[in-house]
Amino acid sequence: MRSTCWVQITAPYTDDDRLKHDGDIWSVPPGLPGIELMLPLMLDAAINQRGMKPERLAQLMSSNPARRFGLGRRKGAIQVGLDADFALADLDHQWVYEGKYSLGKQKSSLTPWEGKKIKGQVLETIVRGQTVFRNGKIIAEPGSGELIQPDFEK
């Protein structure tokens, strides 16, 4: 089967929530901390290691999920009339993930990515035409996010 969308389940659980299940893996809440790693990990694995074209990665991580989850009228493409959301990345930059520097709001420190060497880093993120992240820092004003109601076309 061919993938059409790549999305991530986040983990709003504490370490205690994830460890208190007496070894029963099926009782552990799902998801991983580190939503901010999804794009760098895919730049590394899909583009740098496997030669996927950046356009295909954008389709899997943006265009297709936007349509699938009813956000295609505003998200998922760079075109007139849409929100102008995109990221600028350096595909060659190599770095090592250290959770203590994470900008994410996860409640758990348990991550399989600690100490992982990654090739590919997001330099800047633009949302609705405004830069919200640059050079490792969030520069958006608190409250500048916007809830978008899905619109599922029949």
Q: Which of 30-34, 97-101, 113-117, 121-125 has the highest mean pLDDT?
A: 121-125
What is the rounded average pLDDT of the residues 57-62?
94
**Total residue count of the chain as it appears in this document:** 154
List Cβ neighbours of 104 (8 Å cut-off, separation of 6 or more): 33, 34, 35, 36
Look at residue 52 in the predicted model and tell me its pLDDT: 96
What is the rounded average pLDDT of the residues 7-19?
68
Look at residue 111 in the predicted model and tell me its pLDDT: 78
| Predicted TM-score (pTM) of this structure | 0.81
**Phi and psi torsions of 130, nearest 5°:** -110, 135
Question: How confident is residue 53, by pLDDT bands cut at 50, 70 and 90?
Answer: very high
Range in 63-67, 114-118, 143-147 with the lowest mean pLDDT: 143-147
What is the rounded average pLDDT of the residues 96-122?
84
pLDDT at 26 over 80: no
pLDDT at 9 over 90: no
Look at residue 10 in the predicted model and tell me its pLDDT: 65
Distance, in Å, from the CA atom of 126 to the CA atom of 132, rounded to the nearest integer, reads: 6
Look at residue 17 in the predicted model and tell me its pLDDT: 73
